[in-house]
């Protein structure tokens, strides 16, 4: 191809970018004309417009979004705050947001709160100071009130919460119907013939885990089964936590024949304990988890799980932002988008004739 690049010249110093003023000077017209040509304004001669565009391309003109934002008072930057970016869920949501945002001409600034309110507060300041057009946030585990978000509202910056929200407050949010997901999973276990379904419950101060527990209870009630408190185990949703919980359940005088866990790692822990004790899955104990992590397809047997629609959540969050931005601060009426989760049935819960594959 092109010959090898000449060795870097020492005097290859920063080449200042070309501005509208440069184009104007070059063409002998005013900056207004340039501006209009580039922004596809009406009232501009097609000839001049073409000339401007051509020169812009030739000189490799790049608009300065900062200057534009400063002038217009609104940028094309979007702030996103997540507890952490690692792990399937948030990474996928961010993927969804970024994809939708970049299509619409927005860039996203990512901040991590590391599950710390203080950091979350700082993130908010950083983003406001960067003049973002909107902020999308999933609150940290340690966020107990909303006061620090008031600044954002006062500034008229659209604010959208996703997944983790503080309940009892009126906010714009995109959430998963965790309750229904849990209901689906539990009902499925019951339909597979389970009579005593246990629940590994997550930290109850988080809305998502409260809702999953409620969905579990709903499914039992719907089948006329009275909940048994000894079958509901508090669990931190880790692998080890799942193992401990399962041991606790097996130690019961009347152990369960099905387990619905609010998380996949915990249900994996449960599976490991069952296998180590020679308990058959799903014949003796059927299992279902929540999140549809990659591990569900690695474990043996494959684990039934509830999918959280991560990408859709990201897309929906972005759309909600654009809606709010379009409403232009006039109607900050709180809007909630609720996504429907989907149960993926796999071997760990399938007691029927043949074991259906992945899907």
Partner DNA sequence: TTGTAGGCGTTATCAA
Partner DNA sequence: TTGATAACGCCTACAA
Contact residues: DNA, CB under 7 A: 16-17, 19-21, 28-33, 35-36, 38-39, 42-45, 47-49, 63-64, 67-68, 70-73
DSSP 3-state of 119:
helix
Strand partners, 261: 200
Q: What are phi and psi of 107, to 5 degrees?
A: -110, 150
Nearest approach in angstroms of CB 330 to a second copy is: 8
Provide the 3-class DSSP secondary structure of residue 130: coil
| C-alpha distances out from residue 299 to 264, 288, 294, Å | 11, 12, 9
Q: Least distance (Å) from DNA to the CB of residue 15?
A: 12
Q: Which of 32, 99, 204, 222 binds a second copy (CB under 8 A)?
A: 99
| Residue 16 CB, nearest approach to a second copy (Å) | 8
**84 near a second copy, judged by CB under 8 A:** yes
Query: Cβ(294)–Cβ(310) under 8 Å?
Result: no
- Are 197 and 258 a contacting pair, CB within 8 Å? yes
Q: Which does 85 bind (CB under 5 to 8 A by kind): a second copy, DNA, none?
A: a second copy
Q: Is the peptide bond before 215 cis (omega within 30 degrees of 0)?
A: no
The answer to whether residue 278 forms part of the interface with a second copy (CB under 8 A) is no
Per-residue mark of binding to a second copy, 134-173 (x: CB under 8 A): ----------xxxx---x-xxxx------------xx---
- Binding-site partner at residue 19 among DNA, a second copy, none, CB < 5 to 8 Å by type: DNA
Backbone dihedral angles phi then psi of residue 355, each to the nearest 5 degrees: -80, 115
Phi, psi dihedral angles at 252 (to 5 degrees): -65, 150
Rounded to whole angstroms, the Cα distance separating 26 from 20 reads 10
* Residue 35 binding: pick among a second copy, DNA, none (C-beta 5-8 Å cut-off by kind): DNA
**What dihedral do alpha carbons 176, 307, 97, 212 form, nearest 10°?**
30
Residue 43 interaction partner, one of a second copy, DNA, none, beta carbon < 5-8 Å per kind: DNA
Give the 3-state secondary structure of residue 139.
coil
Tell whether residue 112 is a contact of a second copy (CB under 8 A). yes
Q: Which does 38 bind (CB under 5 to 8 A by kind): DNA, a second copy, none?
A: DNA
User: Shortest approach of DNA to residue 11 CB, angstroms?
Assistant: 21
Q: Is 306 in the site for a second copy (CB under 8 A)?
A: no
Cβ-based neighbours of 165, under 8 Å, separated by 6 or more: 139, 171, 173, 175, 207
Give residues in contact with a second copy (CB under 8 A). 1-2, 5, 7-8, 12-15, 17, 60, 62-67, 69-70, 75, 77, 84-88, 91-92, 94-95, 98-99, 102, 107-112, 125-131, 144-147, 151, 153-156, 169-170, 268, 294-295, 298-300, 329, 332-334
């Amino acid at each position: 191809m092109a010959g090898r690049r000449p060795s870097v010249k020492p005097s290859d110093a920063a080449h200042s970018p070309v501005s509208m003023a440069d184009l104007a000077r070059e063409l002998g017209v005013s900056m207004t004309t340039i501006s209009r040509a580039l922004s596809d304004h009406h009232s501009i001669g097609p000839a001049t417009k073409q000339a401007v565009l051509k020169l812009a391309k030739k000189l490799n003109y790049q608009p300065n979004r900062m200057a534009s934002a400063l002038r217009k008072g609104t940028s094309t930057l979007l702030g996103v705050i997540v507890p952490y970016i690692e792990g399937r869920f948030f990474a996928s949501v961010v993927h969804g947001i970024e994809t939708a945002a970049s299509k619409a001409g927005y860039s996203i600034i990512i901040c991590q709160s590391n599950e710390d309110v203080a950091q979350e507060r700082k993130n908010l300041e950083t983003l406001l100071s960067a003049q973002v057009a909107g902020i999308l946030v999933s609150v940290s585990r340690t966020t107990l009130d909303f006061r620090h978000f008031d600044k954002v509202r006062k500034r008229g910056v659209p604010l959208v919460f996703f997944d983790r929200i503080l309940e009892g407050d009126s906010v714009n949010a995109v959430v998963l119907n965790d309750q229904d997901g849990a209901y689906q999973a539990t009902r499925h276990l019951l339909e597979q013939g389970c009579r005593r379904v246990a629940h590994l419950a997550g930290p109850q101060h988080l809305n998502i885990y409260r809702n999953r527990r409620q969905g579990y209870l709903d499914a039992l009630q719907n089948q006329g089964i009275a909940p048994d408190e000894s079958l509901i185990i508090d669990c931190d949703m880790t692998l080890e936590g799942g193992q401990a919980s399962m041991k606790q359940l097996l130690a019961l005088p009347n152990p369960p024949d099905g387990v619905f866990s609010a998380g996949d790692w915990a249900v994996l822990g449960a599976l490991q304990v069952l296998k180590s004790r020679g308990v058959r899955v799903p014949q003796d104990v059927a299992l279902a988890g929540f999140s549809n992590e990659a591990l569900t397809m690695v474990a043996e047997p494959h684990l039934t799980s509830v999918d959280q629609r991560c990408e859709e959540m990201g897309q929906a969050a972005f759309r909600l932002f654009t809606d709010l931005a379009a409403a232009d601060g006039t109607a900050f009426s709180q809007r909630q988008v609720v996504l429907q989760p989907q149960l993926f049935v796999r071997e760990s819960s399938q007691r029927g004739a043949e074991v259906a594959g992945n899907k």
